[in-house]
Amino acid sequence: MVIRFIFFLFAYFLVLSSLAQRTYSGNIIDSQDKGFLEGVKVQSVSSGEEVLSNSRGYFSISAFLGDTLVFSFPGFISQRQALSSEFFLMIELQDKARFLPTFEVEGNNYSYSFKDGRLTIRDENEAKTPSRKGEVITTPMDNGDGTGGMVISGPISYFTKKARLAREYERKKQWLARRTGYYEVIDSDTTRTQLMEKYELSREDWDKMVIRFNQFHQQHEFLDWPESRVRKSLEEFIQIERSFFD
């Protein structure tokens, strides 16, 4: 028990030494065309402070190590970024339209193609390739100057940029899903109010407590922790801190 308490004190002082508000900055770009995104809202989860990115996608915000920034922009998938010792961030947001299905609409006069969230008129002279789902298709390519090669399509599309972004998005969703218990506690106004009243904490005290709590557990990031375990751990953390200072 004594060893465990000494270890906690050692870890606590390490966390306390790193607890200082710092300036985090960076650029926000479209993950598809790498263009800068202007007007992206960047918000600190702990303090609620908000800033907007400028025409070059640049932002700057004050936050604490261990805090979380939320990046949101209309038509794009919101992203959370846990803050570490890296003070410059390069954030890529994914356009929701990139994940819409591809289809074609044929009319009497025109045919339309919908792909990557864009509706375009399809060239009537464009050869239509029959569906050969599940096959790897090779097609000769002639550049008209004596050079050429082969065009390969099919399952190899797994390696395309769009497929890679889709896989990254799925991994991000899985990571967030594994932290559901954590968010159910930290993002709950009811839980925050209850614990602030129970332990007589101001909102500023609460925000700093949560940051230190995140830093203390940053190695495992609360992955697969149920809500009950997160809340119990948070209350134990608050109790130990208060008893230490008292």
pLDDT averaged over consecutive 10-residue blocks of the chain (246 residues)? 52 51 88 87 90 92 89 91 86 77 55 55 56 53 58 53 70 83 86 90 84 80 90 89 70
Question: What was the pLDDT predicted at 106?
Answer: 58
Cα dihedral across residues 219, 61, 201, 11: positive or negative:
positive
Question: What was the pLDDT predicted at 17?
Answer: 45
Residues 208 and 244: their CA atoms lie apart, in Å, by: 16
Residues 84 and 82: their CA atoms lie apart, in Å, by: 7
Residues 147 and 241: their CA atoms lie apart, in Å, by: 72
Question: What was the pLDDT predicted at 158?
Answer: 52
Question: What was the pLDDT predicted at 207?
Answer: 82
Could you tell me the two tokens for 105?
């609409």
Rounded to 10 degrees, the C-alpha dihedral 138/139/143/145 comes to: 90
Q: How far is CA 162 from CA 28, 99, 182, in A?
A: 19, 9, 31
Strand partners, 108: none
Taking the whole predicted model, whether its pTM rises above 0.85 is answered as no
Question: What was the pLDDT predicted at 105?
Answer: 54
Question: What was the pLDDT predicted at 204?
Answer: 84
